[in-house]
Amino acid sequence: MQLTAGTQLVSQGTPPTARTAMEQKNTVRLKGRKVLIIDDDRINIRILASILQNEGYLITEADTGEKALELYEGLKPDLVLMDVMLPGIDGFAVCRELRARFGDNAAPVIFITAKTESDDIVEGLAAGGVDYIPKPFRRKESLARIRIHLQNKILNEQQKALVDQLKTANQAKNKLLGMAAHDLRNPLASIRGLAEFLRDGTVGQLTPDQLDLANTIFETSQSMLTLLNELLDVATIEAGELKIHKEPHNLADLVEKCVYLNNINAVRKNTKIVYSPPMEAPIVRMDQSKIKQVMDNLLSNAVKYSPPGSTVNVRISGFHPAFNVAVQDQGPGIPENERHQLFKDFMTLSAKPTGGEKATGLGLAICRKIVEAHRGAITATNLPKGGCEFSIMLPA
């Protein structure tokens, strides 16, 4: 069964629609399904037809490949039974043609073959056939094979419809999320700004108790703004609107600047970020603002999860055509059973910030999406001496 990325949602949330489709698995209705039989031998057709009609299948027949192709589009059969040797184009060619015209939507083709020679079977499967039925027909075997492939086809269709449904629902969710975050942002920014005016005394001196309240309002609205910004990022990225404007830049300059800025906050925790420049100037085609976002996230995480007084090491390595930035912290590392969740949306793991900082659980998910949009990779490795190394690889 072909599963696309969207199918993962089923295992995560099990929405009601998914459950219904799964329950249907055992009760797929096969009666009334349309089967197209292509054979130039009328006796074969008659035998197959009588076997199938007893089961309630609807039969259409064709005695050449050309006729079958003509009939196919109007009929839209659920399954095709096809003889190999036909007067005009042969069964393999018809099968290939159906694949070419209808792709994955083409009905499964089962070859009817007198010769049980493996060459024939292999060629049939290579042409896109799903199975073969040997002549002379054994009723039970033929029916069993047909039933399995019909069931597969129907389940596949249900799966596809379900994936489409979930994709639409996911898009609607992202749109709503985006709108909500967007509309909440301006008022929050004003609340934060007004609280800032209160606490810095511009509009009059506050008592210590009042100052404490103003500080709380400021900090709370600040962390809500961060959360909203990350929600918006996720929503736009998921909606496929992550616009990357790649231009060649020196990665080392960018990293150095980020280290400098993050050190200002790190000092409050008595933590130091130490940067070792690379041997070669790492010129990378990248979206500066997005990669800066990734670096800020990795650096602030490293500070956030390391105990006060730690040292965070940042190192650029690699040569053209790919460069690496590694950020090593002195935090608790990532428990083995949480590794797989690390880069997923809304995943805050058991590790807690060591200085009361906030974690939204979206930062690393956004980092992964940005790095992947640059055709790069992001990884996390626990270090033998303790702590964790986050590393991004970016192609030049």
User: What dihedral do alpha carbons 311, 316, 318, 319 form, nearest 10°?
Assistant: -160
175 sits near another protein (criterion: CB under 8 A): no
Size of the site for another protein (CB under 8 A): 17
d(CA 228, CA 184): 8
d(CA 179, CA 228): 11
What's the length of the chain?
A: 396
For another protein, which stretch binds (CB under 8 A), given 120-128, 190-198, 279-287, 372-380?
190-198
d(CA 92, CA 96): 6
d(CA 347, CA 361): 5
Spatial neighbors of 272 by CB under 8 A, at least 6 apart, are: 263, 266, 310, 311, 312
Q: In degrees, to the nearest 5, what angle opens at C-alpha 51 toward C-alphas 47 and 52?
A: 115
Q: Which helix (H) or strand (E) holds 393?
A: strand 388-395
For another protein, which stretch binds (CB under 8 A), given 48-56, 136-144, 188-196, 273-281?
188-196
**The only residue of 14, 116, 168, 190 in contact with another protein, by rule CB under 8 A:** 190
For another protein, which stretch binds (CB under 8 A), given 38-46, 61-69, 162-170, 192-200?
192-200
Nearer to another protein, 80 or 181 (CB): 181
Work out how close the CB of 364 gets to another protein at its nearest, in angstroms, rounded to a whole number. Answer: 22
Take residue 239 and report the two structure tokens written for it. 């909606």
Residues 197-256 that bind another protein (CB under 8 A): 197, 202-203, 225, 232
CA quadruple 370, 322, 338, 313: dihedral positive or negative?
A: negative
Work out how close the CB of 268 gets to another protein at its nearest, in angstroms, rounded to a whole number. Answer: 17
Nearer to another protein, 243 or 375 (CB): 243
For residues 354 and 341, is the Cβ–Cβ distance under 8 A?
no
Q: Helix, strand, or coil here: 336?
A: helix
Work out how close the CB of 179 gets to another protein at its nearest, in angstroms, rounded to a whole number. Answer: 12
For another protein, which stretch binds (CB under 8 A), given 18-26, 118-126, 182-190, 296-304?
182-190
Work out how close the CB of 246 gets to another protein at its nearest, in angstroms, rounded to a whole number. Answer: 14
Work out how close the CB of 255 gets to another protein at its nearest, in angstroms, rounded to a whole number. Answer: 22
Nearest to 364 by CA among 386, 337, 384, 388: 388
**The only residue of 11, 186, 205, 337 in contact with another protein, by rule CB under 8 A:** 186
Work out how close the CB of 236 gets to another protein at its nearest, in angstroms, rounded to a whole number. Answer: 9
191 sits near another protein (criterion: CB under 8 A): yes
For another protein, which stretch binds (CB under 8 A), given 42-50, 144-152, 189-197, 297-305?
189-197
**The only residue of 34, 185, 246, 358 in contact with another protein, by rule CB under 8 A:** 185
Work out how close the CB of 252 gets to another protein at its nearest, in angstroms, rounded to a whole number. Answer: 25
Nearer to another protein, 197 or 260 (CB): 197
187 sits near another protein (criterion: CB under 8 A): yes
184 sits near another protein (criterion: CB under 8 A): no
d(CA 79, CA 115): 22
Residues 14-33 that bind another protein (CB under 8 A): none
d(CA 390, CA 211): 39
For residues 380 and 351, is the Cβ–Cβ distance under 8 A?
no
Nearer to another protein, 99 or 292 (CB): 292
Work out how close the CB of 219 gets to another protein at its nearest, in angstroms, rounded to a whole number. Answer: 13
The total of other beta-carbon atoms located within 10 Å of residue 240's CB is 9
286: burial class by Cβ within 10 Å (0-12, 13-18, 19+)? buried
118: burial class by Cβ within 10 Å (0-12, 13-18, 19+)? exposed
196 sits near another protein (criterion: CB under 8 A): yes
At position 93, the amino acid (one-letter code) is A
Work out how close the CB of 264 gets to another protein at its nearest, in angstroms, rounded to a whole number. Answer: 14
272 sits near another protein (criterion: CB under 8 A): no
Take residue 90 and report the two structure tokens written for it. 């042969």
Work out how close the CB of 369 gets to another protein at its nearest, in angstroms, rounded to a whole number. Answer: 18
State the residues that interact with another protein by CB under 8 A: 182, 185-194, 196-197, 202-203, 225, 232
